[in-house]
Structure 1
Amino acid sequence: MIRLSFTAFAITAFASAAGVAAGLAIPTPAYADVKIATAGPFTGSIAAFGAQMKLGTEQAVADINAAGGILGERIVLETADDGGKPEQGKAAANKLISDGLKFVVGHINSGISIAASQDYEEAGVLQISPASTNPAFTERKLWNTFRTCGRDDQQGPVAGAYIAANYKDRKVAIVHDKTPYGKGLADETQKAMNKGGVKEVLYEGINPNEKDYSALVSKMKAAGVDLVYFGGLHPEAGLIVRQMRDQGMKTVLMGGDAITDKEFWTIAGPGAQGTLMTFGPDPRKNPAAKDIVERMKARGIDAEGYVLYSYAAVQVIQQAAEAAKSLDPKKVAAVMHSGMTFNTVLGPLSFDKKGDITKLDYVVYTWKDGNYSE
């Protein structure tokens, strides 16, 4: 029989209790939610595009969370309204920075994305745009700028080559809205068109957000314009088409990816029949998007325009973070710059050292009966 003195027993008991207490005191890791923001025009004249972006990011966040989140952590989606205006965009970006956001899907407008990206870079925020096509967005080679769409120096040559091939002996006008996106795209198209042997009879800039473009329309009518290439957004494009029809003109309008919303048809009216535009291969027809497209359709949502480009942006962030085993934006960006292929609703995507996707991404569409098709 073993006998313990009271002192020995007390020491043993104290040590045991201390061990339990120490065990209870060991801190368990506290994980915060992964915050991702979507920043775009949720109010204003191009709110339709903001709605597309929001639908895509919301669906992606819901689907990724249902599958376990990112590195086991739940994504919380925040929104920031830039109103489609540079000043408001800058304020929205700084609000997200002050709120501690480190990943942003946005913006839509190239001018806003370019300006905001510098603030994001300084604050350590990774930015991936589903729609900003101006080359300058990524051409500065910032570590934090990416896009799931193509560039205007890819899009413009497709439009310019089409015009040169189909309007060789016709009269063509070039019109833009004076923004980085609109003028940049118009100039790239003009360059390719001229190279193909077609010289414009008019080159004009308009002020966006106006309602009356009749003076421009009259000038084009007097010049006998057969096709007008418009670098700008769908509200102005729709008004120009409607006002051309009001003056009895049958002139075809051709635009870029910024008229990819059914609101264009609503503004332009039936006279938009035959309008041409460039955009990426329809992601709704990509086998990788079939399940998402059908589920959204069951909810009455058409995954048009930038919906799936926005969905893909969230997928890329998730897969890059998993590969990096980190939520540090710079480590995530390093994976994205590495040439890794990401499986997305747009199909396989990889990025170059600038943050651009590595595939050519534009085809020509025509509008008919309220919808567009290749």
Structure 2
Amino acid sequence: MQIKTKLIPLVGAVATVFAVAGSAYAQEEVVKIGHVAPITGANAHIGKDNENGARMAIDELNAKGTMIGGKKVKFEMLAEDDASDPKQATAVAQKLVDAKVNGVIGHMNSGTTIPASKIYFDAGIPQISPSATNPKYTLQGFNTAFRVVANDGQLGGTLGKYAAKELKAKTVAVIDDRTAYGQGVAEEFTKGAQKAGAKIVASQYTNDKATDFNAILTSIKAKKPDLVFFGGMDAVGGPMLRQMDQLGFKAKFMGGDGLCTTELAKLAGSGLKDNEVVCAEAGGVTAEGKKALEDFKAAYQKKFGQEVVIYAPYTYDALMTMVDAMQKAGSADPKKYLPELAKIHHKGVTGMIAFDAKGDIKDGTLTLYTYRDGKRTLLEVTK
């Protein structure tokens, strides 16, 4: 009898522990954040870089037991692949809406971000792109659309001015890949270059899956431009540089952020000559923010065993900015935290993040690079 008497309070205590644990578990809210980028196809290395940046943020938030509105929350990332294809982008956007995500980080490309943004807007779900630069994205009047990098108006215009003023290019040929991003940055570059006094001697286009540029390059070479500008991604720009080298086509080469990756050296091979390629990242930090960004890059290298390709820090910041807005609102409900996101001031690893009335980042910076010994080398950070 005595043994039974002792067991009764023990069983009761265990039951109490489980009840308390169950209650705590029930209190933990799950916050679902979608991430979309190309994980297959020619741009997969950039898309995976973006996804890794989002993954770092999610893991950090969960490790420190983030609270929203006095409740501990668990973040889940719903990662989707749009393969840089507008149709696939809208399909996965609808999938995320149906999954009732609390917010979306993405998409990577302008050509996928723009059509997907209408779906998120209709559902009232905030979207922050870490890398889409076409101005049209934030000109649609969608109060759910934000970006944490400068747009093509700033990026292309700055590159055009730099080509004429700093690189002393008097004659310029322009090639774009017919995507929303490629055309947009090429158009803005053309405006900036012409305004700064350069003459456009050729305008050609290819596509984002092309591998043979001999006909285009032979035609342009005959016009003897001082500089060739390419609006497109590194997966196309790299082979283009190889073929320029094979044709003995000597001209400076310039591109936007899609070209400006750590992978370009592998893709261009012998076509990547020292100081002959100039590109811009649609973001960057001034001297006072350098340590935070370098610390992030070191942590990224340790976690994933590879260098940052380009936009992982901006994806990380985009997700942290969204969560900051949720905490300020005391809720992960899109309707409740969207007003806080619109007026946010978040100190990220890429600098201070605040948005204008359209959803563009305020005081966005640009980082100009060249390549030396196969390494991307900083030229300057500008606004």
Shared fold, TM over 0.5: yes
User: Are 2:338 and 1:313 aligned?
Assistant: no
Q: Distance in 2 between matches of 1:304 and 1:45?
A: 14
Once the two structures are superposed, the pairs formed by residues 123-202 of structure 1 within 5 Å of their partners are 123-168=123-168, 170-202=170-202
Q: For residues 237-267 of structure 1, what are the alpha-carbon distances to aligned partners after superposition, in whole Å with 9 as ceiling and x for unaligned?
A: 1111111101111222100000232332212
Superposition deviation, residue 64 in structure 1: 1.3
Q: For residues 163-194 of structure 1, what are the alpha-carbon distances to aligned partners after superposition, in whole Å with 9 as ceiling and x for unaligned?
A: 11135463210111111111111111101111
Q: For residues 106-147 of structure 1, what are the alpha-carbon distances to aligned partners after superposition, in whole Å with 9 as ceiling and x for unaligned?
A: 001111111001011111211100000001111122111011
**Which of the residues 349, 360, 366 maps onto 2:370?**
366
Once the two structures are superposed, the pairs formed by residues 1-374 of structure 1 within 5 Å of their partners are 30-71=27-68, 72-168=72-168, 170-273=170-273, 274-280=276-282, 282=284, 286-299=290-303, 300-338=305-343, 340-374=344-378
Counterpart contact for 1:227–1:251, Cα < 8 Å: yes
Superposition deviation, residue 281 in structure 1: 5.1
Q: Quickly say closer, same or farther: Cα 1:73–1:217, change in 2 above 3 A.
A: same
Letter paired with 2:57 = A
Superposition deviation, residue 205 in structure 1: 1.5
SS at match of 1:259: coil
Q: Quickly say closer, same or farther: Cα 1:168–1:260, change in 2 above 3 A.
A: closer
Which is greater in Rg?
1
Counterpart contact for 1:238–1:268, Cα < 8 Å: yes
Counterpart contact for 1:157–1:192, Cα < 8 Å: yes
Q: For residues 21-62 of structure 1, what are the alpha-carbon distances to aligned partners after superposition, in whole Å with 9 as ceiling and x for unaligned?
A: xxx9xx996443111111010001100111111110011111
Counterpart contact for 1:281–1:361, Cα < 8 Å: yes
Q: Which moved more, 1:68-77 or 1:193-202?
A: 68-77
Q: State the number of aligned residues.
A: 348
Counterpart contact for 2:149–2:364, Cα < 8 Å: no
Q: Distance in 1 between matches of 2:150 and 2:67?
A: 26
The aligned counterpart of 2:16 is none
Q: For residues 291-335 of structure 1, what are the alpha-carbon distances to aligned partners after superposition, in whole Å with 9 as ceiling and x for unaligned?
A: 332222334232341010000011101111111111121322211
Q: Which moved more, 1:179-188 or 1:289-298?
A: 289-298
Letter paired with 1:317 = M
Letter paired with 1:185 = V
SS at match of 1:359: coil
Superposition deviation, residue 156 in structure 1: 1.1
Counterpart contact for 2:149–2:283, Cα < 8 Å: no
Superposition deviation, residue 282 in structure 1: 4.2
Q: Distance in 2 between matches of 1:95 and 1:268?
A: 37
Superposition deviation, residue 206 in structure 1: 1.2
Counterpart contact for 1:133–1:152, Cα < 8 Å: yes
Superposed CA RMSD: 1.9
Letter paired with 1:48 = H
Q: Distance in 2 between matches of 1:191 and 1:280?
A: 18
Superposition deviation, residue 102 in structure 1: 2.5
Q: Quickly say closer, same or farther: Cα 1:70–1:310, change in 2 above 3 A.
A: farther
Letter paired with 2:356 = D
Gaps of 5+ in 2: 1-19, 379-383
SS at match of 2:222: helix
Q: Distance in 2 between matches of 1:77 and 1:249?
A: 46
Q: Quickly say closer, same or farther: Cα 1:203–1:275, change in 2 above 3 A.
A: same
Overall identity of the aligned pairs, in %: 33
Q: Per residue, is there more strand in 1 or in 2?
A: 2
Q: TM-score, normalised by structure 2?
A: 0.86
Counterpart contact for 2:128–2:148, Cα < 8 Å: yes
Q: Which moved more, 1:161-170 or 1:190-199?
A: 161-170
Q: Quickly say closer, same or farther: Cα 1:234–1:66, change in 2 above 3 A.
A: same
Q: Quickly say closer, same or farther: Cα 1:74–1:150, change in 2 above 3 A.
A: same
